[in-house]
Structure 1
């Protein structure tokens, strides 16, 4: 799954367009590398998001196309 879509589905970022912009500005790091919006992510990848609200570090636990808002937090684990 593309990183921009994963950020939206997991509710780490509210909108996919915002997720794309965050990636384009170099604020998303996957496994120690700055990535573009089209980067494919897999289970076990470590994400670092540099957002205005602060830095979040998570590990991808699951990948799903659609999940209810209540289950979105099950897709990742905070580090």
Structure 2
């Protein structure tokens, strides 16, 4: 299955167009390799998604063409999720 479709169906990213944009910006890795939206994902792959200020690592457990909202979370297991602090943020007490 294409990466952008998996992200939408699994609801890791709500819209396929947003998933395509994020992937094409180089913010998603599949098994440690930067992926494009057209990259193929399969069961057993590990995704690393860099959102604005957080990084999510998830293992793909199941591939489904369509899913209900309740079943979407069964398509992946979250390995880790961490917030990334912006070191360029100005604080008035520096």
Give the structure-2-normalised TM-score.
0.82
Q: Secondary structure at the match of 1:29?
A: strand
Q: Unaligned 5+ residue runs, structure 1?
A: none
Bigger relative contact order (CA 8 A; separation at least 6): 1
Partner of 1:47: 47
CA RMSD of aligned residues (A): 0.7
* Deviation by residue 1:19-77 (Cα, 9 ceiling, x = unmatched): 00000100000000001111000100000000025110000000000000011000000
Greater fraction of residues in helix: 1
Q: Unaligned 5+ residue runs, structure 2?
A: 80-94
- How many residues align? The count is 79
Give the structure-1-normalised TM-score.
0.97
